[in-house]
Amino acid sequence: MSLEKIISISGKPGLYKIINQTRGGFLAESLLDNKKISVSGRHNVSLLSEIAIYTLTEEVPLREVFTKIYEKENGKETISHKSSKDELEEFFFNVLPDYDEDRVYASDIKKVVQWYNLLAKNGMTDFSETPSKEEE
């Protein structure tokens, strides 16, 4: 499954997989505990495929960062998001050496690491772009 169907919901832990559309929003399943929830338009939702990380030259899509972590860790889970700030920053520097340290905070790195580990744990490691309609 691509990142097109994976979301983060503000105020709720972990990540969610979009299952179905409903009249007022959509149905999503937690990757943490497989519980299903109804998500309405009132929730602040972010698609993982739309998130990017600032570097000194450009914005790198999150899927590219996940791919670099995947290659570095040989497809396995990486360090814990509960590691120290210095360990997280050193790890992220090894993955993305030119990330913008002024605009990417330790809390952002913690979230990226936590999300990657959650996706790896659930076997969702296809971080490639989904083909457009023309390519199909």
pLDDT at 133 over 50: no
The ranges assigned to domains in the chain are 3-48, 52-121
52-121 — its CATH code? 1.10.10.1650
Encoding tokens for residue 78? Answer: 């990486």
Q: Which residues have C-beta within 8 Å of that of residue 132, sequence separation ≥ 6?
A: none
**The CATH classification of domain 3-48, taken from the options 2.130.10, 1.20.120, 2.60.120, 2.30.30:** 2.30.30
Q: Contacts from 36-41 at CB under 8 Å and sequence distance 24+?
A: 37/12, 39/7, 39/9
Q: What is the pLDDT of residues 70-86, one digit of tens each?
A: 999 988 889 999 999 99
Mean pLDDT of the chain: 89
The answer on pLDDT for 88 being more than 80 is yes
